[in-house]
Amino acid sequence: MFLKFHNKDWQGHPLVALRKKKHRIVLTDCHQNQIASHALNGNAVQPEILRAALRDAEKLAHAQRLLNLTGGGGVEALPHSVKITVGLVGENNAEGRQLCEVPEGEGTVASDSSASDGESCYIKIHNRGKETVYVSVFNVNVAGRVTWISASFAMGIDLPSQMFYTIGHGEFSSLEGIKLSWPSGVVASEGRGVRENLVFIISNREVDLRQLSEPQEWLEKKDMTPERGRVTVQYAVKHASFVLEP
> Would you give per-residue pLDDT tens digits along the chain (246 residues)?
455 666 666 666 678 888 888 888 888 888 888 888 888 888 888 889 888 888 888 888 889 889 999 999 999 999 999 999 999 999 988 999 999 999 887 689 999 999 999 999 999 999 999 999 999 999 999 989 999 999 999 999 999 999 999 999 876 678 999 999 999 888 887 778 999 999 999 999 999 998 888 755 444 444 555 555 567 899 999 999 999 998
Residues 203, 86, single domain; the answer is: yes
Residues 147, 176, single domain; the answer is: yes
Residues 23, 97, single domain; the answer is: no
Element (H, E) at 20: strand 16-21
Q: What is the pTM of this model?
A: 0.86
Residues 227, 211, single domain; the answer is: yes
Cβ 14 vs Cβ 30: under 8 Å: yes
Residues 113, 39, single domain; the answer is: no
37 domain-assigned: yes
Residue 98: which domain range?
74-245
**Contacts of residue 94, Cβ cutoff 8 Å, sequence gap at least 6:** 175
Residues 191, 84, single domain; the answer is: yes
229 domain-assigned: yes
Span between the terminal Cα atoms of the chain, in Å = 32
